[in-house]
Amino acid sequence: MKEPQGTSGLILNEPLLWEKGKKGRCGFSMPRRDVVPSPLDEGLTGDGPDFPDLSEVDVVRHYTRLSQWNFGVDTGMYPLGSCTMKYNPKINEREASLPGFAGAHPLLPPDLSQGALELMYRLEQYLAEITGMDAVTLQPAAGAHGELTGMLLIHAYHKSRGSHRLKIIVPDTAHGTNPASAALCGFHPVAVKSGEDGIIPAEAITAIMDEDTAGIMITNPNTLGLFEENIREIAEVVHSKGGLVYGDGANMNAVMGIVQMGKIGFDVMHLNLHKTFSTPHGGGGPGSGPVCVKDILEPFLPVPRVIKKGDEYLLSGDFPESIGKLQAFYGNFGVMIKACSYIMSMGSEGLKRASQLAVLNANYIKEHLKDSLYLPYDRACMHECVFSDRLQEAEKITTLDMAKRLMDYGFHPPTIYFPLVVHGAMMIEPTETESKEDIDRFIEALKSIVAEAGKDPDLLRRAPTRPKVRRLDETAAARKPRLTG
């Protein structure tokens, strides 16, 4: 690679704010009080909360310097497989910050919340149309919360029919949270192996599906980046035994506008608005994991539900078979605004085009790297492709070494060592928002790293060499976390 993006620069160390502060500094003028003052430390010992005294320039420089330590999707390519880290249009952030939305309070009466309620109502309709489902709840706050909701709905459905089923089928190519979500609802996860082609054979489901099994949790496209081509047959097998099909929709970025999951056998699925529909993913911020269902599960959706009565929008709890509340309020409403803005601005053709470009970019990377990295499933992929470090084993270079070296080239590493069905996995998802030029630079960087593995393997074992911190002891970080900076 002629000119790597990664380079060295001036990155300043920064102390804690409590170490920076000096008594008497003030970067903010409090408004004139119109109430009688009451000391915070009244009846307590000490001097009250330990807030540092800081000037405006102290605060601005502190957070600007910290931001220079970070890498994010606004900095460069973030090819994190199975977790769609795509660039999101800033216009959607603007819509979410409109005063009428940002200033809304969850305890306002419906007549003062008509705009917010209408937006939620319309978003549910959009998501139902995109997925081919009949009804939607926006209550789940994230993907795993959506999985839990789906399992609760399946449990409620079987209970309403007087059936007590104990098992859920979970393929080895499902997302790692799927078996945990099933277990949380009292189901016993039953593992099933994918075939040699990376997808689930219908015969494998036929062999284990019985009247004691509540259904199957299937990620489609799966974590190998492959579309489950046997999904119709699998759904027929599950349905023939009275079970339901749950779809993990975290990888919807590959098929939105193209595949309607409700029409190929799914009964319930969750979406990740904070991956697919324009909200920055990661960092611990708010997410949203709406759950879409076919009409047989609609009576069990959580309350309160947004309904339309005449020209008025209301939150109604009048659904006697509901599984109840999942959270106190719709506190992640800002995520819904961004998703609705994204869907309305893209339109059906735009969503379809985004999926097509995501698939095109992933296949472009796959074809250009399959001679440099081992490709366990050499077939057309969807939004992501999975390689491994098998070709680098002779130099004793691991996937971790190559991922760390990518940081020196100015790229965030892809997902590594997942999915577990591929030893030494490197899962790459370029998303639809990356240009050909950036993808070409990423490909060149990985090819250069593979060449380095043969010529100077010690260089890779020392990587990264350019970021502010070097290779960390991840085991010690997990077992003995340092939380004070």
Architecture (CATH level 2) of domain 348-478: Alpha-Beta Complex (3.90)
In this structure, the number of other CB atoms found within 10 A of the CB of residue 97 comes to 12
1: buried, middle or exposed (CB in 10 Å: 19+, 13-18, 0-12)?
middle
Lowest mean pLDDT among 129-138, 285-294, 472-481: 472-481
Which tokens go with 331?
């506190």
Query: What is the pLDDT at residue 314?
Result: 96
d(CA 177, CA 174): 8
pLDDT above 70: percentage of residues in the chain: 96
**Is 364 exposed, middle or buried, given 0-12, 13-18 or 19+ CB atoms closer than 10 A?**
middle
- Least reliable range by pLDDT among 264-273, 306-315, 462-471: 462-471
Answer for the pair 140, 289: CB distance below 8 angstroms, yes or no: yes
Cis peptide before 179 (omega within 30 of 0): no
Alpha-carbon span 237 to 200, nearest angstrom: 13
φ, ψ of residue 204 to 5 degrees: the values are: -65, -35
pLDDT at position 484 over 80: no
CA of 470: how far to CAs of 73, 263, 463, 467, 474, in Å?
21, 49, 7, 7, 12
Q: Which residues pair with 291 in a beta bridge?
A: 137, 270
Q: Evaluate if residue 1 carries a pLDDT over 80.
A: no
Same fold, 91-345 and 348-478: no
Distance CA 265, CA 262 (A): 6
- pTM value? 0.91
Residue 51: the pLDDT is 85
Query: Could you tell me the residue ranges of all domains in the chain?
Result: 91-345, 348-478
Strands 415-416 and 385-388: unpaired
> Residue 388 in contact with residue 423, Cβ under 8 Å?
yes
Q: Token digits for 419? A: 């999915």
Structure tokens given for 224: 């190998």
User: Count of residues for the chain?
Assistant: 485
Give the phi and the psi of residue 293 in degrees, each rounded to 5.
-135, 160
CATH class held by domain 91-345: alpha beta
More confident residue, 31 or 379: 379
pLDDT in tens, 320-334: 999 999 999 988 999
